[in-house]
Amino acid sequence: MADKLGNPIELIDIIRYPVKGLSPERLPQVELSKGATLPYDRAYAIENGKGRFDPAQPKYLPKVNFLMLMRHERMAKLKTRFDDRSLELTIELDGKQVAAGVLDTSEGRRSIEHFIADYMADELQGTPQIIHARDHSFSDVAAKCLHLINLNSLRELERLMGQTIDPLRFRANLIIDGPPPFSEFDWIDKTLASQEIKLSVFKRTQRCPATNVDPQQGVRDMTIPDLLFEHFGHRDFGIYAHIDTGGMLQQGATFHLS
């Protein structure tokens, strides 16, 4: 299927981030639910010292309340695995397991928190705490939604910079390919559909300095928001979409625009 210009819209990757600021997990398929995020996407976060989040009354808080790549690029060197059946998080550094814990137990959380306290000691404002609330997502936006990027838009950025850019810098949930560069900005208030699934696009994504961090090496080596502003007069890259109709979404699926 294609957009209205006849360009195919193919789903290349499905990605979630179980713990805000930590590494991604690719999913071959996922069951989407109306009004939700990807299952377990940003389901957990790490407070930088005691914060304002109340699990009994979960509300959106700005990212500065948590450990995150915009300020804490060393977190990108940590490679994690999350088991959504056991809720166990495993952390590796330089190919070696350094921590593991079941996140719905106080003992499991303490195991992860103790490692983070040592690893991030120079950047902490207090004891790190893993936080979670049922059905809450620690996204950068208050709305429960998916974040999409277009690989052709990324290729245009690569052309302007003269170097390869890892799409994981943008921490998107869905990576699509086919439409012309930045044509996704014209999709606001339109619907992306794949079989029974319907997504309504509602907002462009304004980029922060987190995109300057190499997601493999954990160092700042680019100035992507500044590059966007220099060439386009804005710092937007990617779009947000609500899930209006859920269903099973598989890698390789195609969307059409309406």
Over 50: is that where the pLDDT of 138 sits?
A: yes
Predicted TM-score (pTM) of this structure:
0.94
Say what percent of the chain tops pLDDT 70.
Answer: 97
Residue 6 has a pLDDT of 57
pLDDT, tens digit (0-9, with 9 covering 90-100), for 19-75? 999 999 999 999 999 999 999 999 999 998 878 899 999 999 988 899 988 888 999
Over 60: is that where the pLDDT of 3 sits?
A: no
Q: Which of 78-82, 139-143, 175-179 has the lowest mean pLDDT?
A: 139-143
Question: How confident is the model over 181-198, as a mean pLDDT?
Answer: 96
**Mean pLDDT computed over every residue of the chain:** 94
What structural domains does the chain harbor?
A: 9-18+142-257 (2.40.33.20), 41-132 (no CATH)
Contacts of 21 (CB under 8 A, 6+ apart): 45, 46, 66, 67, 68, 69, 72, 75
Question: How confident is the model over 212-222, as a mean pLDDT?
Answer: 92
| CB-CB contact of 134 with 39 (8 Å) | no
Among the listed residues 95, 89, 111, 106, the one whose alpha carbon sits nearest the alpha carbon of residue 20: 89
Can you give the three-state secondary structure of the chain, one letter per residue?
Answer: CECCCCCEEEEEEEEECCECCCCCEECCEEEECCCCCCCCCCCEEEECCCCCCCCCCCCCCCHHHECCCCCCHHHHHEEEEEECCCCEEEEEECCEEEEEEECCCHHHHHHHHHHHHHHCHHHCCCCCEEEECCCCCCCCCCCCCEEEEEHHHHHHHHHHHCCCCCHHHHCCCEEEECCCCCHHHHHCCCEEEECCEEEEEEEEEECCHHHHECCCCCCECCCHHHHHHHHHCCCEEEEEEEEEECEEEECCCEEEEC
Over 60: is that where the pLDDT of 4 sits?
A: no
Over 70: is that where the pLDDT of 5 sits?
A: no
Provide the pLDDT confidence category of residue 95 given band limits of 50, 70 and 90: very high
Over 70: is that where the pLDDT of 224 sits?
A: yes
Residue 1 has a pLDDT of 39
Residue 113 has a pLDDT of 96
